[in-house]
Chains A and B, each alone.
Chain A
């Protein structure tokens, strides 16, 4: 089974800066991608013989392609602002998990090969030759970074460790040492269309099941359409929404909102994945290939709008990069944002008065909201600054009576990562995931004890799965995590009745019963 035994950190009332203990996490590694995972993405199948030259060349290539990377390598003044900001450092005490420590793993090699001082006086400037040990360190510690960008909020120079991690992983891929978790998944998107590898018929079967369930519950024939040409809205959502819990309860909620709003919408087998792990491995080419599937689906289906479901890093890519990766989207209706977040969509409908909501349906719960990193720190929502914080909270508050935020320094742009983002959500990194969740678990436990909160709501598939797994380590129940649109789904009153012939299974023989 996965991973060695480890001790779950104890939660304290305040998030304390721990004493440094060197090497606590140096034993961490994760499964290396197999040759076929690597080659499907355009990387060497196995570690290349001249790995040193290839790695240094790749670093040079990235420095020339990304001005930001060059600046991040040069600009650090070792001020220390970032040191206590990383959840993995706070949970592990390992100095290489301090953002500056992690950056320096790459920076010391950069200095040796790309700066004057490092070439001629390496010892004076902390420059080091690239060795096998350094490659191993990169593989370990750049897979202990969830690319959450919390440290960059506090860096006076805005150095973004996420981009440095992405660069490191791209260098590792270029020498044939990729991570199995991310690369196998990206391969599935290229081949099948989504991270899970759900073929069209499986998605169709799942959606039919949802239609039956919602009909049984509401006696309204809510549709979960797939590949419907001419629909107004293409919904692109993480494939976990078809598969896992509580994700699927969110998908049920999206469908109910669209139904009550009276719009036509569709999912797509081609674009059956919102997530884009190409970003996690820093590969522009793979990120672009994954993004182009969305463009292709939108064109084939002739939709007017694209709406994204609850997925954290998908929203970063959708909001910040989609237009350059897969645009221009001039064939969509210019009256709507391209793309739009499902929370933004739902809030608009709430504000227009289209939806009747019965908050008391959620009275058994008291809710707090977990800002997902990539939504909080790498994008926006709606047309006002801070919309990414306000819009999901407004949606939640419109559907529940009991809501309390966690401590101010653990939410909004200061939110703590769930511990599983950025390609870390794999069983072989369970120790990293559990320890990295400590700051978020502390804040959640405090709001449970002080305000009687019972459930944590999130808008990211990774966060939802991560919490399901790590809650029990901290003495909580795996079912304490909910989707935001699950809360909407509970509260929404289904007023648009449907004719009986639209009901699932209408007219079919019931011999089996």
Chain B
């Protein structure tokens, strides 16, 4: 599988995650979101940017609670909860947002 973005072709796995995470660029997120019929707004990008920062430091997606807390701190308390994140990313902040942001899929009992 593959996805077109910015005039380039990016290989993805069967679940739609980038095969080579190092290739990620913002256009990939927009292309993936377009496939999900979910145009990315500034609110979405605030989350995606945090995910990328966290991933660069810890090599893993942040826990849901870490994410909601960071969002609450940066963007205001009313946004620091799972409901806000699910409203932005209906398939789940962990899975859908991670895919857009070029993070590996969280696995396990989640």
Contacts and interface: CB of A to CB of B under 8 A. Distances in A.
Interface of A: 1-2, 31, 181, 184-185, 188, 194-199, 201-202, 205-206, 209-210, 213, 238-240, 242-245, 247-248, 275, 311, 425, 427-428, 461-462, 464-465, 478-479
A238 B110 CA distance: 10
A308 to B, nearest CB: 14
Contacts of A275: 108-109
B40 to A, nearest CB: 17
Nearest to A238: B109
A31 B62 CA distance: 25
B109 A462 contact: yes
Contacts of A245: 64-65, 82
B15 A31 contact: yes
A206 B106 contact: no
Given A1-B16, A1-B91, A213 B60 contact: no
B3 to A, nearest CB: 13
Nearest to B14: A31
Interface residues of B, number: 25
Nearest to B55: A202
Interface string B74-106: 000000001000100001001100000000101
A196 B58 contact: no
A427 B16 CA distance: 12
A198 B15 contact: no
Contacts of A238: 108-109
Contact of B109 (A2, A240, A248, A479): A240
Q: Chain A interface secondary structure, helix, strand, loop or mixed?
A: helix
Contacts of B86: 478
A196 B107 contact: yes
B108 A248 contact: no
B52 interface: no
A195 B108 contact: yes
Nearest to B83: A479
A248 B106 contact: no
B8 to A, nearest CB: 23
A427 B107 CA distance: 11
B59 interface: yes
A202 B95 contact: no
19 contacts: A181-B107, A194-B108, A196-B108, A197-B107, A199-B59, A201-B57, A202-B59, A206-B65, A206-B66, A213-B69, A238-B108, A240-B109, A240-B110, A242-B63, A243-B64, A243-B110, A244-B64, A244-B110, A245-B65
Given A1-B91, A188-B108, 10 more contacts: A196-B60, A196-B108, A197-B108, A202-B58, A239-B109, A240-B110, A247-B109, A427-B95, A464-B109, A465-B109
